[in-house]
Amino acid sequence: MNMLVTAGPTREAIDPVRFLSNRSSGRMGFAVAAAAAEAGHAVRLVAGPVALDAPAGVERINVLSAENMRAAVAGHVAWCDALVMAAAVADWRPTAASDRKLKKGDGPMRLELERTADILESIKSLKGARIVVGFAAETGDPVAEATRKLSAKGLDMIVANDVSRPDAGFEVDTNAVTFIEPDGSTRHIETAPKADIAAEIIKWIESRALCT
Ligand code: CTP
C-alpha cells in the first residue's frame, strides 16, 4: 500500500526569531512511518520540525507551519491508500507575522491569533476509499473526546491517548492508547513502546484494507 504519514509539531511564526508551537517530538508519527516501511509499504512522511532521522526507506517531506503541512498533505493525498495524521498541528497562528524582530517595550505583549485550517477536515472530500486514521491527544476523557473527533473529521479510526500521563503522549518513548472505530468498538493498548503501538496501527490498516 502507499501510506502517507504526518508527524511532529508545526511552527507558527510571530516574527523572524519567535514562533508558537507545541510539545510534540514526532516520535509517534516517525514510529508509524518506520513500521509501515518495515511492513513493506511505500511511505511518504510529512514531518514538522523535529530532531529525528527519517526511518530507512521513507520519503521525507519537511514542513514548518500548519499551512505548509496542509499544502503537503493536499499534494500527496491522491497518491496514498492510507493516511495517518499523527502530527500535532497548531490550531492557531498569529494573525500577522512581523517581518522584523518585535521589540519588547515596557508594557504587556498581546498577540492576536487566528485559526489554522483543520487538515483532516480540508481533505474530507478527497477521502474516497482511502483509510484515514487520526490521533487525539487529550487531558480529559480521551475516549469521549476522541469519539467526537472521529465522527466530526470522518475518520475510519482514531488513536486516543491521555497526554497527562507521564508514560504516554509527548516526549516519551512509550504510549498508552485506545483505538476507536465508527461503530463504537474500542481496543485499549496499555503502556507499550511507540514502535509496538505503531506496528499495531499498521496491522489494523492492513486488515481493514483486506475488508474493503
Ligand atoms: N488535526 C488536523 N488539523 C488541525 C488540527 C488537528 O488535521 N488543524 C488532526 C490531528 O493531526 C489529529 C486530529 O486532527 O489527527 C485530532 O487533533 P487534536 O489536536 O487532538 O484535535 P483538534 O481537532 O485540534 O481539536 P481540539 O482543539 O478540540 O482538541
Which amino acid residue places its CA nearest to atom 4 of ligand 1? Answer: 118
Q: What is the mean pLDDT of the chain?
A: 95
Mean pLDDT of 19-39: 97
pTM of the complete model: 0.96
Q: Give yes or no: 68 in active site.
A: no
Is 186 within a domain?
yes
Count how many domains the chain has.
1
Burial of 88 (0-12, 13-18, 19+ CB in 10 A): buried
**Exposure class string for 99-115: b at 16+ Cβ within 10 A, else e:** eeeeeeeeeeeeeeeee
Is 155 within a domain?
yes
Which ligand 1 atom sits closest to the C-alpha of 6? 11
Which ligand 1 atom sits closest to the C-alpha of 91? 8
pLDDT in tens, 43-88: 999 999 999 999 999 999 999 999 999 999 999 999 999 999 999 9
Q: Compute the distance from residue 146 Cα to the ligand 1 centre, in Å.
A: 10
How is residue 77 written as a grid cell? 493525498
Is 46 within a domain?
yes
- pLDDT of 211 > 90? The answer is no
Q: What is the CATH number of the domain that holds 24?
A: 3.40.50.10300
Is 162 within a domain?
yes
Which ligand 1 atom sits closest to the C-alpha of 153? 14
Mean pLDDT of 116-131: 95
Given this model, what pLDDT does residue 212 score?
A: 66
CB-based contact 7:33 (threshold 8 Å):
yes
How is residue 197 written as a grid cell? 503501538
- pLDDT of 210 > 90? The answer is no
Range of the domain at 171: 2-92+111-210
Residues with CB under 6 A from ligand 1: 66, 85, 87, 89, 91, 116, 118-120, 134-137, 149, 153
